Amino acid sequence: MNRRDFIKAGSAASALLATGCEKLRGKVGDWFLGAGVPDRFAVAAAGMDEHVHLLNRAAFGPWPGDLERVAHVGADKWIEEQLFPDSIDDLACQIRTRGFETLHLPPGEMYEYKKPVVEKELTRFTLLRAVYSKRQLFEVLVEFWTDHFNIHIGKADCAWLKSPDDRDTIRAHALGRFRDMVKASALSPAMLVYLDGRENRKAGPGEKPNENYARELLELHTLGVHGGYTQKDVMEVARCLTGWTCRRENQLMKAKVEFHRGQHDDGEKTVLGRRIAPGGMENDLEQVLDIVCSHPSTANYIAEKLCRRFIGDAPPASAVAKAAKTFQDTSGSIRSTVKTVLTCEEFRASKGQKLKRPFRFVVSALRALGADTNASPALLRYLGAMGQAPFQHPTPDGYPDEAMPWLGTMLWRWNFALALVTNNIGGTSVDLPRLAKAMSAPESDPAPMFLRLVLGREPLPVEQEAVASYLSASPLEPHQKRAEAVGLMLASPGFQRC
């Protein structure tokens, strides 16, 4: 293909995809961008445990061919590349997701679309980015910060405002400075609505501020519940934040964030022992952020949450201390803190200690089998049934990291695994024969290769026996029972944990 044909083909593909020709997305990605399953790839082998572990935690699981890539460049270089996502070519994923118009609009223009449209586009965009983006660590951190600054799209106007918040707060700062992210969240129209910040005003001497956002700022976003603040601190922070609001539906420039000086309590305040002088007006917000984001409890709290997400439900104190020190030494650099977590010995020693949450389970299954999906409602319903539909956690604390709340989702996980491998999810398909050929699996018995692909390691004897027993007992046609055997592998404890 010469340069002119190349440009014409790319322009045509982009134009088709921009108009919503979703059936072409996977095919164009596979043919034109090389985003499908490689013609040949290696599955996990001896010496790859470290690489599998890295991709299971710092990514949403290996895509066919990813293990070879990590083995070639080395784990440290892969981490370094992922920490600078803008340097990674992600054109294939961008083409798959560019048709979602509402993801690019300012808050006020979101209201031109119906609520189900904006909710569906954001949810599908999020799932597709997790499955197909080559900037995997970035997407993992987007999920982490989405939980940390949780906003339920079912409250008031949040359905229209969460997409700009996802773009301008979470994605814009996921690997940046923590203080910048907290400020972006504090002034996000979605957060002002969700935690009632736009109701926080003091118009008269007897009017008390609304403390909802101030409480969550201290308890969930910065210091943590045991961070050393008091109820008095909550009220003082609420006073500092009076006057910030966003315009309502019956006003011009809907959802525009504004500071109303006449509704601000401009008296003297004391936050965590630090005096905030009167007369600061909107600068009171900056002083509050300086105080809470530089507090030692915030460093420990954020470090512990990152270690819980990447290392284990009860992360070692040594790992938390290392991450907290980096956070403090770098003035809250998320990139540096994450690097400390991913390169510490405690991370390397934590293989198999995390139960996959439903979102990670579904995405890692799609990635393991090189699935082609448009994230249709049929697929999203499985996430809802498992209890982790994106942006629908009702309380400000976000979806839990620990295993216990998710143990009741196993039946739906098994149902999903079986539907996936038998191509019974609308808008989603897997090509198991192509995978078998690309892995050079024996045609007579591809099961051992699929076990290594799914588990990311040599299978245990009990796992081999379980699959062999199913294959020998199943009355189905050979291609059907082989497909269902792969579903059995996805439903196994070995794949459920990472």
User: pLDDT tens digits, residue range 381-414?
Assistant: 999 999 999 999 999 999 999 999 999 999 999 9
pLDDT in tens, 345-354: 999 999 999 9
pLDDT at 198: 95
Series of mean pLDDT values for 10-residue runs along the chain (498 residues): 44 46 49 67 86 97 95 96 97 91 94 96 98 98 98 96 98 98 98 97 84 98 97 97 91 89 95 97 98 98 98 97 98 98 97 96 98 96 97 97 95 97 96 95 92 94 94 90 95 95
Sequence letter at residue 88: I
CA count, 13 A, side-chain hemisphere, 376? 12
The total number of residues written for the chain in this structure: 498
Nearest to 425, CA basis, from 410, 412, 442: 412
CA count, 13 A, side-chain hemisphere, 197? 31
325 class by beta-carbon count within 10 Å (0-12 exposed, 13-18 middle, 19+ buried): middle
Residues 6 or more apart whose Cβ sits within 8 Å of residue 150: 220, 393, 395, 396, 397, 398, 399
Distance spanning both ends of the chain, measured CA to CA: 42
- CB atoms near residue 398 (< 10 Å): 19
Coil, strand or helix at 213: helix
Supply φ then ψ for residue 269, to 5 degrees: -135, 160
Q: Calculate helix-pair angle for 461-473, 478-490, nearest 10 degrees.
A: 150
Please spell the DSSP secondary structure of 73-90, one letter per residue.
H-HHHHHHHHTSGGGS--
Cα distance between residue 297 and residue 278, in whole Å: 26
Residues 6 or more apart whose Cβ sits within 8 Å of residue 436: 443, 446, 449, 450
Cα distance between residue 158 and residue 119, in whole Å: 10
Cα distance between residue 212 and residue 163, in whole Å: 22
Tokens of 327: 């956070």
User: Interior CA angle at 333 toward 319 and 315, to 5°?
Assistant: 20
Q: Calculate helix-pair angle for 49-57, 75-82, nearest 10 degrees.
A: 20
Supply φ then ψ for residue 120, to 5 degrees: -65, -40
Q: How far is CA 241 from CA 51, 178, 225, 267, 447, in A?
A: 46, 19, 20, 12, 60
CB 484 within 8 A of CB 476: yes
pLDDT at 6: 42
Coil, strand or helix at 429: strand
DSSP state of 313: S
Cα distance between residue 463 and residue 283, in whole Å: 61
Alpha-carbon dihedral angle through residues 12, 14, 16, 18, given to the nearest 10 degrees = -150
Nearest to 392, CA basis, from 355, 354, 359, 356: 359
pTM value surpassing 0.85:
yes
Cα distance between residue 193 and residue 186, in whole Å: 11
Q: What is the 3-state secondary structure (H, E, C) of 233-295?
A: HHHHHHHHCCCEEECCCCCCCCCCEEECHHHCCCCCEEECCEEECCCCCCHHHHHHHHHHHCC
Residues 6 or more apart whose Cβ sits within 8 Å of residue 31: none
pLDDT at 431: 96
DSSP H or E stretch at residue 402: none
